[in-house]
Amino acid sequence: MQFKLKKMGLLVITILMTSISIGQTKNLPAWQPGFLDIHHINTGRGDAAFMVFPDGTTMLVDAGDMSETHPRTTSSRNAKLVPNRSKTAPEWIVDYIDQFLSKKQDQRLDYALITHYHDDHFGEIDSLRKIASGSYQLTGIMEVGTLIPIQTLIDRGFDFPLDLKDSKVQSQERFASDAYGMIPTLKEYWKFIEFQYKESGLENEALQVGSNNQIHLQYHPKDYPDFKVQNIASNGNIWTGYDASYYSLFKKGEYPGENPLSNAIRIDYGKFNYYTGGDIAGIDGYGETDINGLESHVAPVVGPVDVATLNHHGNRDSQNPYYVRTIRPRVWIQQNWTADHPGEEVLRRITSKKLYPGDRDIFSTIMLQGTRDVIGGRLDQYKSQNGHIVVRVYDNGDTYDIYVLNDASEEREILTKHGPYKAR
């Protein structure tokens, strides 16, 4: 009897040790030369995607930072600041970058790309913001760029279709009554650019539509000849698909709002393709396909891709049927912060096998309870509904994995891994 108890005790200990071993968390393996890493960072305050290209060139796309003084920000409609409130959203972005930036590299961003001038993409001033030594408020990309040097900052420019630096334009009702203060935030942004140009050599450029070398590998480009970043759209200017030529949807003085002016790019690495396009849309006011919408124009030149972010966070004005059928990604990634996203009709379209055949996996950085209450079981089609979403591409673009990292933890350990996927 005593022998049996000892054996049972050993068995219990063995089971316990096995359970602890299985339950131990692991961190994302370090980036290696040849990997393309795309980290969709969740702070609860807007879009931010940190990228490490195959030769170590780095880029940040957007740095959302909505004001903490707006009731919507702290309401149940919106996500909470994660992982906690000990840092601002930009500070968490930089903390994330510090964790996953190669230790062999200098702490800097080779590129930062701002898709458009909305708070959840580039920041928003308010009475709680600290003031930098350059006399600008610390919010969004301005705070990121103060904490970590940026070599080249690319945005949509300021003079088309409206000259946003013109005082007469700034006094227009649509800007003067803007509750989210785009023009006041832009004024801080311009002070940031001027100060950082003198302080750290920051260069500011507008996205050059049609170019595939404005954003390029900085360190070992000859080692990865099949890598490029293709500029697709900006300010309603759309690449034709040939050379660097483009055509314009809008005329000078015609302002359709910020979303249609978003910068859009496609990243190609061998067979692998990734698309992201800010807040462009393609559904009209009646809920029908807008053939004149940005999605309808960019779809033919983007073409089929392996991974795509949802335009406009999956808002109901986006992902029109023609666009979904044309780009047909294997993986959809939703970067969002509100219970409005996704629209149920958007989810129906991106999961429809009638629009395009084959499997597709959907990942979201956050899913709020309000969305679950409204959409219910359809959300079970998501592979993951919370966390930082990392796309890691291997083998010169032949294969890739999707990692979901814990956004409630400062360690950002792996929650789930999906793949390998084969690039098409």
Q: Output the six-digit token pair for 14.
A: 């063995």
Give the model's pLDDT for residue 297.
Answer: 98
Give the model's pLDDT for residue 3.
Answer: 37
Hey, is 384 helix, strand or coil? strand
Give the model's pLDDT for residue 106.
Answer: 83
Domain ranges in the chain are: 36-419
User: Rounded to an integer, what distance in angstroms lies between the CA atom of residue 334 and that of residue 164?
Assistant: 30
Give the model's pLDDT for residue 176.
Answer: 95
16 pLDDT exceeds 80? no
Mean pLDDT score, 334-353:
97
pLDDT above 90 as % of the chain: 92
Q: First and final CA of the chain: distance in angstroms?
A: 63
Give the model's pLDDT for residue 104.
Answer: 78
86 pLDDT exceeds 80? yes
Mean pLDDT score, 228-235:
98
User: Rounded to an integer, what distance in angstroms lies between the CA atom of residue 373 and that of residue 82?
Assistant: 22
Local structure of residue 292 (DSSP, 8 states):
T
Give the model's pLDDT for residue 282.
Answer: 98
Mean pLDDT score, 373-402:
98
Q: Which of 314, 321, 242, 337 is nearest to 289 (CA)?
A: 321
Give the model's pLDDT for residue 25.
Answer: 63
Average predicted confidence (pLDDT) for the chain: 94
Give the model's pLDDT for residue 105.
Answer: 80
Give the model's pLDDT for residue 331.
Answer: 98
Quick: pLDDT tens for 102-112: 887 888 999 99
Evaluate whether 331 touches 6 at the Cβ level (below 8 Å): no
Tell how strand 331-334 and strand 264-269 pair up: unpaired
Give the model's pLDDT for residue 103.
Answer: 82
Give the model's pLDDT for residue 134.
Answer: 96
CA angle centred on 108, ends 103 and 109, rounded to 5°: 115
Quick: pLDDT tens for 201-216: 999 999 999 999 999 9
- Is the peptide bond preceding residue 260 cis, with omega within 30 degrees of 0? no
15 pLDDT exceeds 90? no
Mean pLDDT score, 352-376:
97
Quick: pLDDT tens for 135-170: 999 999 999 999 999 999 999 999 999 999 999 999
pLDDT above 70 as % of the chain: 94
45 pLDDT exceeds 70? yes
Q: Which residue has the tokens 């891994």?
A: 417
Superfamily holding 36-419: Ribonuclease Z/Hydroxyacylglutathione hydrolase-like (3.60.15.10)
How far, in Å, are 68, 84, 299 from residue 80 at the CA level? 10, 8, 33
Mean pLDDT score, 376-404:
98
How far, in Å, are 239, 247, 322 from residue 289 at the CA level? 21, 21, 8
User: Rounded to an integer, what distance in angstroms lies between the CA atom of residue 151 and that of residue 241?
Assistant: 28
Quick: pLDDT tens for 249-305: 999 999 999 999 999 999 999 999 999 999 999 999 999 999 999 999 999 999 999
The rounded Cα 176 to chain-centroid distance in angstroms is: 29
Give the model's pLDDT for residue 109.
Answer: 98
Q: Which residue has the higher pLDDT, 224 or 7?
A: 224
Q: Which of 61, 39, 52, 36 is nearest to 279 (CA)?
A: 61
Mean pLDDT score, 22-33:
81
Give the model's pLDDT for residue 19.
Answer: 32
- Sheet order of strands, 307-309 included: 246-248, 237-239, 227-234, 264-269, 272-276, 307-309, 331-334, 361-364, 382-384
